[in-house]
Structure 1
């Protein structure tokens, strides 16, 4: 039995994985969606990027999980990638769902135009405010799905976006799957594109947008299940 730890991206909590988690449990897996500090039901908890890394490591160790697949969506690929190397032989695979991957010494905001995000955080007491409904257009989501995301989102702690990652070993040495959602761009870019050239990383595509846990939860669960079967 594989044990999945699921971590959603910016503004979201464990609730975002409800449908995916149900599908994985039906397939016989042990599933642990995780809310990072400062988000959803953990609002008000001070958090930076390394807090989020520790959240993930602590969850794995607290539950004494083995044969772990860490899954990071969007922003959370940054702390998940760091946590993956820190849990050692507990890890079976790390999966990045249309996600950032950590680069030692670089922040989540490094490498892409982020002036607007930084201004937004300055205007909102250091938090990145959630997108409005218009921000989810063209991502394969129904109006109902968009409303669910918007209603459940909470401001994201800005420090987690600006703190540098700490990567002690080459991520290319870890068994990894990168899931690229094609409505959000045809190919992975940056560090992910380079890592996918290695032998231990595989690329899987989904014909949907950046939030597949809402737009295609059954298909995402199947993709996660199949990534483990190939390990």
Structure 2
């Protein structure tokens, strides 16, 4: 199976380095993407928006000789859902890692503070708010490495509205790997109309798997995440 791994905010293809070999060992053809504007600290991020990230994923889908499995982490899940909307007949399954299928008109995170037209990785205290599980299981060394390698994201990627138009996206099976919220919490979010989960009732085939750890399981629980992904694929 062709598998396309899409990183979340501040990350590149390197963030999947501990996942890719485990999938390839099962015989899968794996491509980890670095999305536009995330190539390096010095990359030109001006004018890049969510549509550009969706287009990069669509281009990877179009290069494949068979239907693909898309795996999107965090904010990358929104771009994955946009690509599913564009190519529903070419996606065998979409997997959202601590993410969800962002609906039409919603932004990934319009509240993140920007600096000079881009959004750097915020201080860790932002992720340590009361009740947050975002940094569970991280070591200080892992946090330091993450920060050293983090790349600012283009402001438009966080703030642009999602654009969807093809209801065939609801026919594509999805797996939601939940690391910082429980199945009961997801049910509550669906009932409350929280954007990231508002499309779930419309999707015909939804599998939810709980993997309690940080918001970045590819760093804190890579072996377990790889196993769950292998099963999903």
Matches of 1:180 and 1:107, distance apart in 2: 20
Assess if the C-alpha contact under 8 Å between 1:39 and 1:156 holds in 2: yes
* TM-superposed deviation, 1:135: 5.1
Residue matched to 1:35 = 34
Q: SS of the residue aligned with 1:79?
A: helix
Structure 1: distance between partners of 2:204 and 2:108? 25
Structure 2: which 5+ runs fail to align? 129-134
Residue deviations 1:79-113, cap 9 Å, x none? 11010122232211001111142211221136xxx
* Farther-moved stretch of structure 1 (206-215 vs 165-174): 165-174
User: Contact (CA 8 Å) 1:107, 1:162: kept in 2 or not?
Assistant: yes
Q: Which residue among 122, 126, 134 is the counterpart of 1:131?
A: 122
* CA pair 133-106 structure 1, distance change in 2 beyond 3 A: closer
Instruction: State the alpha-carbon separation in 2 of the partners of residues 135 and 216 from structure 1.
Output: 22
Aligned pairs (5 A) from 1:1-231: 2-41=1-40, 43-46=43-46, 47-61=48-62, 63-109=63-109, 114=111, 117=112, 120-121=113-114, 124-134=115-125, 138-170=135-167, 171-181=169-179, 184-186=180-182, 187-188=185-186, 189=189, 190-197=194-201, 198-228=203-233
Aligned residues: 215
Alpha-carbon deviation of 1:134?
4.7
- Write the deviation string for residues 139-194 of structure 1: whole angstroms up to 9, x where unpaired: 2112222222111101111111111111113443321011110xx23333324444
Task: Provide the residue aligned with 2:132 in structure 1.
Answer: none
Give distance in 1, aligned partners of 2:102 and 2:65.
23
Matches of 1:5 and 1:86, distance apart in 2: 15
What is the CA RMSD across the aligned residues, in angstroms?
2.0
Counterpart CA distance in 2 for 1:5 and 1:207 is 23
Partner of 1:23, secondary structure, is helix
Matches of 2:159 and 2:45 in 1, distance apart?
17
Distance 1:128 1:223 in 2: 31
Q: Give the SS at the match of 1:72.
A: strand
**What residue number does 2:131 align with?**
none
Q: Is the 8 A contact 1:6 1:71 kept in 2?
A: yes
TM (norm. structure 2) is: 0.84
Contact 2:120 2:153 in 1 (8 A): yes
